[in-house]
Amino acid sequence: MLEFHKDLSERTVIQRYLKIVHYDKRVAQDRLSRICFDDYDREIALVVQNPTNNEILAISRVTKSSDQKTASYSMTIKDSWHRKGIGTKLMEKMIAIAKRERVLQNLKQKC
């Protein structure tokens, strides 16, 4: 996770957090502990790794709202891996998870 965040450009950080969040805040132990250990009743994180060296290439997360009827998602892809289809695949996986968790029951009608 430290290496993943170290390699993110300022632009990617702004796209993810909608503001600058400095490296030291992104990798603070209390934050990483919270995001690395999911409450699977509420959220699921997906991590894409390079199979040759286990480098983290992308991270996405689906988080249910407190009413359990809707969900939010987030996605961050390492800059050197932009425009290679990872985002599309992660979005497909996140939609499948949200449907399975019944937070996107009417997705077919809305699309």
Q: Which tens digit of pLDDT belongs to each residue from 32-91?
A: 888 777 777 788 889 999 999 999 999 998 888 887 777 888 999 999 999 999 999 999
Indicate the domain borders of the chain: 2-103
Instruction: Provide the token pair at 53.
Output: 């060296």
Torsion of CA 23, 20, 54, 47, to 10 degrees: 130
Burial of 71 (0-12, 13-18, 19+ CB in 10 A): buried
pLDDT at 40: 73
Q: Is the pLDDT of residue 6 over 50?
A: yes
CA-closest candidate to residue 46, choices 108, 109, 93, 92: 93
2-103: CATH, from 3.40.50.300, 3.30.300.30, 3.90.470.10, 3.40.630.30:
3.40.630.30
What span, in angstroms and rounded, lies between the C-alpha atoms of 22 and 27?
Answer: 9
What's the pTM value of the predicted model, to 2 decimals?
0.80
Give the pairing of strands 43-49 and 56-64. Answer: antiparallel
pLDDT at 59: 94
